Structures are given as C-alpha cells and as structure tokens.
Structure 1
Amino acid sequence: MNTQHTSTDPRAQRLAEHEAYWQRFGVHRATRQAELPALSTGWSALDAQLPGSGYPIGAVTELLCQDAGLGELSLLLQALARRMAEQPKRQLAFIAPPATLHAPALAQAGIDCARLPLVRCRDESEKVWCVEQMAHAHAFTGFVVWGDRFDTTALRRLQLAAEKAVCPVFVYRPIRAAAERSPAALRLAITAGRDGQRIEILKCRGPGGARLTGLQPDSETVWRFADTHADLAALRAAADNDIPDPEHGRHVARASFPPLGAR
C-alpha cells in the first residue's frame, strides 16, 4: 500500500495568513485583481486599463470632474444599463443629482426610469445615511451619488455600504478632490481635451496610472436644460445640490422621495 504524505510549506502558509489579514482592509495583491468582481464600463479601451476589466462591484468608484457637462454621466450609462438588465428586479438610485434629468434620453440609453428613484438630500451626511439605509434592503443594483464635500469618513461609510449591498457605488466629486486621500477602490479624473474626453486613472486595485484620451460619450442630453446657459451654470456650481422643480418640464424623471426627515 502506498501512503502519500502531504507537507505544507510554513512560509507559504504564513504568506497566505498575512494576505488574508490585509484583505480585510481592502488591500489586495496586484497579481490577483482579475479575480475581483467587476462591471464592464462599456468602453473596451477603458476596460483594458482597469483591474478586472471594469468598475469594481461592491466598492466605491470616484469620478472627479474638471467641469460639469463633459459627458461624465453618459460615460456610466452603458455600464448602468447592463447592470439593470442583469438584475431586472432591482433598482438603481440617483442620490442628489445636481440638475433635472431628461427621462427620454435615459430611456434611450437603456435605463429603466421606472426603476430609477431620485433622492433629494439636504447635505452630505444625509446622502451617506441614505445610501447606508438603502443598502440594508439589498434591493438596489447600484448607487450614483453627487457630492462636493465628502470627507474620508463619509467615503469609508459609502465603501462599507457598497460591500453590504454587493453593488457599485459611483461618486461624482470636483476635480480638486484629487489632491485629497480617499479609500475609494477606483478614482478616475475626467477632463476635456481636443480629441474628446480625457480620463486618468489616479488609483485602482492593482497597477494604475494610465491615461486615455479620445473617448466620445454622447453629449449630456441626460440633463434637461430649459434655459441652457443659466441651467448649465447652475449645474457647474451645484452649490446647493438641489434638483430644479420637475413641473417645469414635461419629460423629466421626477424625484421619488421628498427630502428626508430627521434621523
């Protein structure tokens, strides 16, 4: 009778334990990033540069914009539409969008507006609290949040909510936030170039630092501008994170919830 002996390399075992410890804090080896679940961006050139070939699922992706109206929301629509198609019984939440949304343009991009609640919030803390509460329901396929003044604590809470809901959380912030530290799994800087949208990968789980120029997402027809110049200026300022009155437009995705009450 043959007896097979199995030996364990102590060094390999210690390395595995060490790696498992750091994974609890979101630290992963670059060579294993392809194993992390990801959602295709819908742009092959961008997918090729991202670990896992897409936006991380169960994590925060920051989109840091030089200005509003650069196609930053259109950049997400293909991924969001695919995500909604894969999970037809779940909703996609928009938290404090800075302007009125044009429902026909969203529908044309494959977004089911009947499953798109828009949530109005008074301040940054309420936005974070709102995502946390909805994450408990496990009824959402993703969250898109607009915020000017999220700090590290707020972003970490959003990261924990993304892990709990097992879905991506996309956060739009001004480009100036690129100089700040962030626990987000992926950070993209979006600026305008002569040849189209320019995207720089500031941070990702794995090798990063790539730059892409020339992506041509559709012009921002997802926003409805009654007075183009005035509304675009308000969108770029986005100081109060409010949503214009949807009664002013016929084809507008209306807010599903009033401002939240006291917590």
Structure 2
Amino acid sequence: MPKLDALSLPPAVNVQLWRGDHMVRAPMAGIPTGWDALDAELPGKGWPSQCLTEVLQPQAGTLEWRLTGRGLQQCPAHKPVIALGPPLPPHASGLAQSGLAPGQLVWIHSSRPQDQLWALEQLLKANAAAALLAWLPQVQPEQIRRLQISAQQFEGPVFVFRPESSQHQASAAPLRLLVRSSQPWSLQLQLLKRRGPVHQGTLELPAVPPSLQAVLPARLWPGTVPLPQPATAAVSVSSSNTALSLPYHDTDLGRPAAPLPLPRSQRARQSSLLH
C-alpha cells in the first residue's frame, strides 16, 4: 500500500488529519493544569474539554484535589464544580485556600454505582457545570465508552477517578493518568494514554498545599537537597556513686513515661543512706 502523502490531500482534509506519532491538532480548549511541565505534554496545553480524563491512583481520597485544584481555579465562577461520589466529604475551607469558593462546589452523594453513572451522564448532556469530578471505582469499559460519547457535549474538563489496578483494562478515555504521592510534597505522574505519541518516563510535580507554603522550611520544599543529619555523640557513663539521669519519653503516647528503674546496687546504696 503506498504511503499517504499529506501534500496530495485537499487542505481542508489535511487540517483534520492526525497521525498517531504527533500531538493532536484539533482544538481541545480546556483549562491549564497549573504545571507548565504537564501542560507541555498534554494536547491542548491543559486539562481537555469534551472528553474524559481518567485518573488512576493507589488509594482514593488522597491525591485528587492536589492534582486538580490548581486547574479548578481557572473555571468560570458562574458555573458550579460538581463532585460526584467522593469517598470523603470535601473540606470546604481547604478547597477555599486552593482558590475554589465553597459556594461554587456542589457535592452529590450516592452509594449506588448505577445512580452515579446516571447522574454523571445527565450532567454531561446538560453541560451543567464548569467541571465534573466523579469517583467510579466499579465502572466497566463499556460504561466508560458511553460516558465518553456524552462528554463530547460538555464544555469543561471531566475527571473520572479509578483504582490503580484498572490500568490494564481497556478504556475509551482519550487521556489516562497514573498518579502517586512522591516525597517531599510532590506528585509523581505517568501519562498512560494521550492523543499523541507514547510518553516515556514520569513527571515530578511539586504540590505543596497552599496552607503550608508560608510556613514550610525551604529545606523541605520539592527539589531541595535534605540537610545532613548531625552525628550522634556517644555518651560514656563511668561507675560512680552519682546516678546519671537521662530523659526518657514514650514516643507512642507523646508524653514522659515512668522513669527507668535503678540498678540493684544503686537501690541498695540509697536504702543504706536513708536508714
């Protein structure tokens, strides 16, 4: 089969042509992620709209807001940001420090997976929010395909959170990410799927919470080299009549514990002095 020459195609067709080893050129207007390094690796230079962004993680309820919080600040204020089925209640004051007004957040709770799927599909078709975040740990590949079709009518980003074990399942989501926590205060992100060439390696994204940025020491910021720990000085105790009193703390309870018992010889010497 002869190789297709883009120069021989009509200009209107050539503009719409996408080769898998290039970033997609179709308009995918969305919102910036808040990290320049991540924007540079995504088609459209940000969280895409009109499609699903599937986020996989080892444990639900730990990294979702840290990953999406910077981008949600860019959402239009006249539309709500809807969280559908989060495993933990959203913390309004913490999200407010990230730039998301508490009055803009709508929390929909449902314990039945079929109700969550129905609600998400209706929200997508109605284009009723600035952004949608849905926790769907039990969703099936055919349901993801149906949601992706509905997401083409939605003008904002749509995040679907699933467990890390789902990465080997087929998915119709055009963008799939695997995110893990990385110390100190960083996110380790791997691009599993995008509308473009295969991404190699991982991205380290600094994600210090806004409430800690003013008080966190510089040595604990991402990218800094930890300071060397001072060497522990050895203490030698010679045998004498004076007992050496050392501090002893119960680290489990966080308060001073009972003092260590004295050796038998010192207890006998103290008893003889008292009598």
Asked if TM exceeds 0.5, the reply is yes
Looking at both structures, which has the greater relative contact order when contacts are Cα pairs under 8 Å and sequence separation is at least 6?
A: 1
Partner of residue 39, structure 1: 31
CA contact (8 A) 1:40 1:79 kept: yes
Picking from 40, 60, 75, the partner of 2:52 is: 60
User: CA offsets per residue over residues 163-201 of structure 1, 9 Å max, x none?
Assistant: 112222101100000010100010000123445321000
Residues in 2 aligned to 1:118 and 1:72: alpha-carbon distance in whole angstroms: 15
Task: Structure 2: state its 5+ residue gaps.
Answer: 1-5, 212-275
CA contact (8 A) 1:188 1:201 kept: yes
Mean Cα deviation higher: 173-182 or 39-48: 39-48
Picking from 48, 67, 81, the partner of 1:92 is: 81
Partner of residue 102, structure 1: 91
CA contact (8 A) 2:57 2:163 kept: yes
- Give the letter for the 1:190 counterpart: V
Residues in 2 aligned to 1:136 and 1:10: alpha-carbon distance in whole angstroms: 38
Residues in 2 aligned to 1:29 and 1:135: alpha-carbon distance in whole angstroms: 30
State the aligned residue count: 205
Check if 1:118 corresponds to 2:107: yes
- Give the letter for the 2:13 counterpart: A
- Post-superposition offset of 1:29: 7.8
| TM-score, normalised via structure 1 length | 0.68
Q: What is the percent sequence identity of the aligned residues?
A: 28
Residues in 2 aligned to 1:66 and 1:190: alpha-carbon distance in whole angstroms: 8
Q: Which has the higher helix share?
A: 1
Q: CA RMSD in A?
A: 3.0
CA contact (8 A) 1:49 1:210 kept: no
- Post-superposition offset of 1:149: 1.1
- Give the letter for the 1:67 counterpart: Q
- Post-superposition offset of 1:41: 0.5
Secondary structure of 1:125's counterpart equals helix
Picking from 172, 180, 188, the partner of 2:161 is: 172
Greater Rg by CA: 2
- Give the letter for the 1:55 counterpart: W
- Post-superposition offset of 1:206: 0.9
Q: 1:108 to 1:173 in 2, by over 3 A?
A: same
Q: 1:63 to 1:52 in 2, by over 3 A?
A: same
Residues in 2 aligned to 1:75 and 1:192: alpha-carbon distance in whole angstroms: 10
User: CA offsets per residue over residues 118-147 of structure 1, 9 Å max, x none?
Assistant: 111232222121012223333311110001
Partner of residue 187, structure 2: 197
Partner of residue 235, structure 1: none
- Give the letter for the 2:196 counterpart: G
Residues in 2 aligned to 1:10 and 1:38: alpha-carbon distance in whole angstroms: 30
- Post-superposition offset of 1:75: 1.2
- Post-superposition offset of 1:213: 4.1
CA contact (8 A) 2:66 2:209 kept: yes
Residues in 2 aligned to 1:175 and 1:218: alpha-carbon distance in whole angstroms: 23
Residues in 1 aligned to 2:51 and 2:12: alpha-carbon distance in whole angstroms: 25
Picking from 6, 13, 16, the partner of 2:13 is: 16
Secondary structure of 2:81's counterpart equals strand
